[in-house]
Amino acid sequence: MLSGIGDQAELQRLGIPVVQHLPGVGQNFQDHFGIGCVWEYQQPLAPRNQGGEATFFWKSNPGLDTPDLQTCQGEFAFCSAEMAAKFNPPAACWTLFGGVVRPKSRGQIRLTGPNPDDPVQIEANTLSHPDDLRAGIACVELCREIGNSAALRPFTKREVMPGNLRGAELEDFIRDATATYFHQTCTAKMGRDSMSVVDAQLKVYGIKNLRIADGSIMPRVTTGNTMAPCIIIGERAAGSLAERPQVRDVVGVAFEGLRRKRSTGNTLGRTASHANEIQAVLVLVTIQIGCTGVPLFAHPNFSGKASEMQLRRITVSRDGVPQFWRQFGDPLLNRLIAEGISSSKDPCDRRFPNQRSQGHASRV
């Protein structure tokens, strides 16, 4: 939105020049929410591995076509600040964190000012739809039934929260205990209606050479964790870009040079002319694919510049050219990247001076 892409009335209200009127930008916000039901251990057990290795899906209503609940077991007390103050769970606890994964509530993201430093207003509107509250009630009841079952009794000294609540008390507990599953998505949805932001190729409507490849393009949040779907979205975006002749050719040129240098035993950057040659090739790659907004390549040694973060994960393998993704641990390639783009300017800055993408075009 800071780039001038969004709802025209909102942009004009903040004095941002309109580049493209897309009223769906920032709308359709969705998230999975969860409610912590906590038990005290019979004998304290230290969390293992990541502290939660069991999950299940269930239906809040038998008449549903698909499950709408997902519960994760956590080997610690997971509760909101309000519930922690009220129930004061002891240190040795475990949790069934029951989540509603097909929510009907919709929120939005809005700007509060025209500057990048102005805070973003996130209106999640969690539990605004009555069906979500009903699903939350069913979820808590299911978690309590399992947590208090005979099978788990050897691990349970007592139920810490919520206890046997009913009616308005249970509803109040759910509203106070609800927390995010950190699956915020859907604010730049794919589709063909007036509120859609990207098409089937992830291209932003009305803007040339700009794509979005993350969870924001989902029309509806997935029924479960969002990490794997986001990886698939990125892979599909990279795959479609890899089929573009100019991208395929320039990547082939870059790695043909790399392969030649390796075969002759030369090290990258041994001469100034060689370093300039590598830099020219990678600046060309940046120009070719940098403005697409698709995160194509990343490495932990990167300093975080936008031009660097946009060179992520384009998996091209033609005529034996090695794939980027397979070169993560290759110090030769790391040096190639560092020499090639450490000083290059993000070409997107010329087109959208008000917003650097930092490799995430969907940031609004």
Whole-number Å distance between alpha carbons of 2 and 353: 10
- 36-50 in b/e form (b: 16+ CB < 10 A) is bbbbbbeeeeeeeee
| Count of Cβ atoms closer than 10 Å to residue 105 Cβ | 19
Q: Which amino acid is at 188?
A: A
Whole-number Å distance between alpha carbons of 206 and 23: 12
DSSP-derived secondary structure for 141-163: HHHHHHHTSGGGGGG-SEEEES-
Whole-number Å distance between alpha carbons of 267 and 333: 11
49 backbone φψ class: left, alpha, beta (φ>0; ψ -120 to 50): left
Cα dihedral 248, 234, 298, 185 sign: positive
Question: Between β-strands 54-58 and 69-74, what pairing exists: parallel, antiparallel or unpaired?
Answer: antiparallel
- CA dist 102 to 53, 54, 56, 83, 343, Å? 22, 20, 14, 24, 45
Selecting among 183, 274, 299, 360, the annotated active-site residue is 183
- CA dist 129 to 24, 88, 133, 224, 249, Å? 20, 30, 7, 19, 51
Please report, in angstroms and rounded to a whole number, the separation of the first and last CA atoms in the chain.
5
274 is catalytic: no
> Which among 266, 103, 99 has a CA at the least distance from the CA of 174?
99
Query: Active-site residues: which are they?
Result: 183
